[in-house]
Amino acid sequence: AQKITQTQPGMFVQEKEAVTLDCTYDTSDQSYGLFWYKQPSSGEMIFLIYQGSYDEQNATEGRYSLNFQKARKSANLVISASQLGDSAMYFCAMREPYGNNRLAFGKGNQVVVIP
Amino acid sequence: ETGVTQTPRHLVMGMTNKKSLKCEQHLGHNAMYWYKQSAKKPLELMFVYSLEERVENNSVPSRFSPECPNSSHLFLHLHTLQPEDSALYLCASSQGTGTDNSPLHFGNGTRLTVT
């Protein structure tokens, strides 16, 4: 069963504007972790931000913030003040509860920042 | 060098060839992973090594054979592959494999094409 859902089509965003990438997840476990990764055309997966299921505050990391709504099982990524270098695929991932650091990834969102 | 390094970046091989992918991490982590990324599919976990011991083999065909000689190096030996094995193969490392918030750090990947 798919555990991470990212359904937005490719997005174009104007430079310096904010963009929100949607992510919903499915789990029956109470303890879990949510991650966002960025994958530019070079192929490397770059860790952006982490949200624990018990964290009461939304995670923030520089221009990245996570809009965590636990009851709705959503963990949307917000990128503020977009830059041309933000053009990439963005993947939401959830750490599965049974160890070995398994991460279940979504299919990703394509973002293109235009000047 | 820092981070996670994968070689080669690109590999084209015939179905009867034998080749190996190499991954090296300079982060002092104790867990390493192989992931497969196919077009339009979520990342698929293949193998997990913790302290040089394989702790997970995610139903991967035997034509893929991992090797972890030490905590800094991980190999993926390939033989008699099929065209559907063409994909981006990503190596990752992390500090620990438990249910903490340690993210995976990925390399740039090896783009494999099987002809």
Banded pLDDT at B100 (limits 50, 70, 90): low
Please name the residues in contact with A46: beta carbons below 8 A apart, sequence gap of 6 or more: A37, A38, A39, A40, B106
User: Nearest CA of chain A to the CA of B58: how many Å?
Assistant: 10
Q: pLDDT tens-digit profile of A57-83?
A: 999 999 999 999 999 999 999 999 999
The rounded percent of chain A whose pLDDT value lies above 70 is 94
User: Nearest CA of chain A to the CA of B49: how many Å?
Assistant: 9
Contact B108/A42, CB-based, under 8 Å? yes
Three-state SS for B31-81 is EEEEEEECCCCCCEEEEEEECCEEEEECCCCCCEEEEEEECCEEEEEEECC
Banded pLDDT at B51 (limits 50, 70, 90): confident
Question: Mean pLDDT lowest for which of A8-17, B55-64, B78-87, B92-101?
Answer: B92-101
Interface of B with A (CB under 8 A): 31, 33, 40-43, 45, 48, 50, 55-56, 88, 90, 92, 94, 96-99, 101-109, 111
- pLDDT at position B99: 54
Q: For tokens 């982060």, what's the residue?
A: B27
Contact A103/B111, CB-based, under 8 Å? no
Strand A11-14 and strand A109-114: the pairing is parallel
- pLDDT at position B1: 52
Q: Which residue of A has its CA nearest to B89?
A: A43
- pLDDT at position B57: 73
Q: pLDDT tens-digit profile of B20-40?
A: 999 999 999 989 999 999 987
3-class DSSP assignment, residue A49: strand
The rounded percent of chain A whose pLDDT value lies above 90 is 71
- pLDDT at position A56: 87
Measure the CA–CA gap between B108 and A25, rounded to whole angstroms. 26
- Count of other CB atoms within 10 angstroms of residue A71: 5
Statement: residue A1 has pLDDT above 60: no
3-class DSSP assignment, residue A30: coil
Tell me which of B54 and A41 has the higher pLDDT. A41
